[in-house]
Chains A and B, each alone.
Chain A
Amino acid sequence: MFLGLYNYWIMVVLMMIGFYIVIAHGNLVKKIVGLTIFQTSVFIFYISISNIDGGTAPILAEGISRYSNPLPHVLILTAIVVGIATTALGLALAMRIKEAYGSIEEEEIQQRDNREC
C-alpha cells in the first residue's frame, strides 16, 4: 500500500516545510516565501489527485480514451492566481512595513510597537 501513497506523503512533508517557515520564521519576506511553498505543495497534491495511470493531458485528441481528471486542474489554475494575488499583497505590505518601521523582523517591529504603547 505504501507504494500507492508514498508521494502523498512527500507532498505532506513539503507542505509542512512551508507551513513551518510561515509560522516559525521572523522575517516577513521569508514568511511569504514559506506561504508560497505551502500553497504550491497543496497544488501538487490536488494535481496528483487528478492523475490517472496511462491517462494523458485533458486535451481531446483522436484515439485517446483515457484523460486525467480536468477538474482539479481548473481548481488549481484558480488557486494559483489566488496565491500570486496573496503574495503580491503580502509583499506590498512588507515593503510598507519596511518603510514605516525600518525593519522586516517580527521581533523588532513588536518591540517598536511596545515602546509606542
Chain B
Amino acid sequence: MLAHLPVLQVIVPLLAAPSCIILRRPGWVWLFTLLVSGSAFLISIALLQQVMASGVIVYELGGWEAPWGIEYRIDTLNALLSLIITGISTVVLLAARTSIKEEIPEDRHTLFYVLYLLSLAGMLGIVTTGDAFNVFVFLEISSLSAYALIALGRDRRALWASYQYLIMGSIGATFILIGIGLMYQMTGTLNMEDLSQRLPEVAQTRTVFTAFGFLIVGICLKLALFPLHLWLPNAYAYAPSIVTAFLAASSTKVALYLLIRFTYSVFGVSFSFTTLPLQTLFVVLGLLGVFVASTTAIYQKNVKHLFAYSSVAQIGYMIVGYSISTTAGLMATLLHMFNHALIKGALFLALGAVFYRVGSVHLRDFHGLGRQMPFTMAAIVVGSLSLIGVPLTVGFVSKWYLVLAAVENGWWPVAVLILLGSLLAIVYTWRIVEAAYFKAPQAGIEQVKEAPLSYLVPVWMLVSANIYFGIDTRLGVHVATAAAQSLFGVGP
C-alpha cells in the first residue's frame, strides 16, 4: 500500500467528496471530512519522509508509463506543499463546525464540506502531478469549488467577489491552457519531465516564448501578483471565515508552486531567467507589491481586507526571493511560503473567532476586545508579531534568510527595501492592537464572551506552531533547503 501513497494523497479527499453526499448528516460529514483531511495529512508526512530518505517518487497512473500516461512525480517541493496544504486544512476544519453554524444556512452544510474537500483535492492534485494538462484539470477543480465556497459568504458582496474571481480565474486558466497547447505543439508531449528535456531543442522559437508568456501571465493571475491582485481582497474579505483561513493559507501557495515548477523545472532556470528579463521584472513587481499593498492595508477599515492586502504584500516578498534565483533566495521563498501559511492561517482563523462572537471584523468593533476576548486577541498579537518578523517567530526566520539571500547576491538596496517593508507591517498590525487594547468598547455594544474552545484550540495550535518553528527551525530550514537544491539539480 505504501507504494500507492502518492495517488492516495489525492484520491482520498477526491472520492470522499461524493461520499459526503451519501452521508448527508452534517455532523457526520464534518467528522468524516476531518478524518479524511487528517489522513491526507498523515500521508503527506509519510511522503515527505520517503522523499527526504530516498529521493523522487514516481507513480504511473493506469500503469501507463509517462509520457503516454499520466504520472505523479513527487520531489521535496511537492511533498512540502502538500504538507502545508493538508496540515492547514486539517487544523482549520477543527473550527469549521462551530464557524459555519453562524455563517452558512443549515441546508448548505453538507455541500460546504463537499466543496471544501474538492478544493483540497484539487490543490493536492496540482502539487503532486507531473503532467501539464493534468495540472489544468485539477486547477479547475480547486478553482470551481473555491468560487462556490466564496459565494457562500453571508454578505451579498461575496457573490460579486466570487464572480470577479471566477472571471479572472477562468481567464487565467484559459491562458494556461493556451500555453500548454503551444508547448504541446512544439514538443508533442505533456509530461513535465519530458517537456524539460525536449524544450531546449526548440527553446529559441517564438512559439515557445509565447507559450512561456501565457503560462506566466495565467499563473500570476491565480497568484494575485501585484498588478493582477485586484480579485483577491474582496474574495478573502467576504468569504466565510473558514474558507478565508484555508484559501489564504494555501491557494496562493499553490499558484506560486506552479510558477516555480514551470520556470525552474520545465523551462529551466537558464531559459526563464537569462533569455527573458523576467528577473528584473519580478523583483520590481514584487517590491512594488510589498509597498503598494502594505500601504493600502494601512488604510483598510475591515480587518479581513487589511490582512488580505498584507497577503498580497507577502506574495511580493516571496516573488522577490524567487526572482533572486539563487538556491538561497529560492530557499527563503519556500520557507516564507511555509511560514506565511502558518501566520495567515492563525490570523484569519482568529478573525473568524472574532466574527463568530462580534459578528463583524470592522476595525471599530475591535475596540476593547483586548479585555473581552483575551486569548483570541493575544493570538492576533502573536500572529502580527510573526508577520512583522520579530525574533522567536517564524516570520523572523524567513525574513532573515530573505535578507541574507539579497545581501549574498549583492542586492543591498533590495535588502533595505525588504526591511523597510516590514515597518509598514508594524503600522498596519499595530492599528489593530491599539484598537483592541487602548480604545474603550463603543457605547451600545454589549460585552462579548471569549471565543469557544472549538475555535481557540485550532487558533492556538497554529499560533504555537508559529512560535515553535520560530524557535526550532531545523525542520523548515532543512526541508526548504533540500527542495531548493533539488530544483537547482543539486542533492535530492
Chain A positions near chain B (C-beta within 8 angstroms): 15, 19, 22-23, 28, 31, 35, 38-39, 42, 45-46, 49, 71-72, 75, 78-79, 82, 85-86, 89-90, 93-94, 96-97, 100-101, 109, 113, 116
Contact = CB atoms under 8 A, between A and B. Distances in A.
Contacts of B136: 79, 82
Interface of A is mostly: helix
A97 B163 contact: yes
Given A38-B174, A85-B144, A86-B140, A93 B166 contact: yes
Contact of B181 (A38, A46, A97): A46
B427 interface: no
Contact of A97 (B147, B159, B177): B159
B157 to A, nearest CB: 6
A6 to B, nearest CB: 16
B interface SS class? helix
Given A82-B140, A113-B157, A90 B174 contact: no
Given A86-B140, A97-B160, A113-B157, A35 B151 contact: no
Interface residues of B, number: 26
Given A35-B167, A90-B166, 7 more contacts: A45-B178, A71-B190, A75-B133, A78-B137, A85-B140, A89-B144, A89-B148
A93 B181 contact: no
Given A45-B181, A101-B156, A89 B147 contact: yes
Nearest to A116: B157
A100 B147 contact: no
Interface of B: 133, 136-137, 140, 144, 147-148, 151, 156-157, 159-160, 162-163, 166-167, 170-171, 173-174, 177-178, 181, 184-185, 190
Nearest to A15: B178
A86 B177 contact: no
A42 B174 contact: yes
B184 A49 contact: yes
| Residue from B147, B151, B170, B185 whose CB has the most chain A CB atoms within 10 Å | B170
A17 B17 CA distance: 38
Contacts of B166: 86, 89-90, 93
A42 B184 CA distance: 14
11 contacts: A22-B171, A28-B163, A45-B181, A78-B137, A79-B136, A79-B177, A82-B137, A85-B140, A94-B163, A97-B159, A109-B160
Contacts of B156: 100-101
Contact of B151 (A31, A79, A82, A96): A96
Contacts of A79: 136, 177
Contact of B163 (A39, A49, A93): A93
Contact of A42 (B140, B167, B178, B190): B178
B185 A49 contact: yes
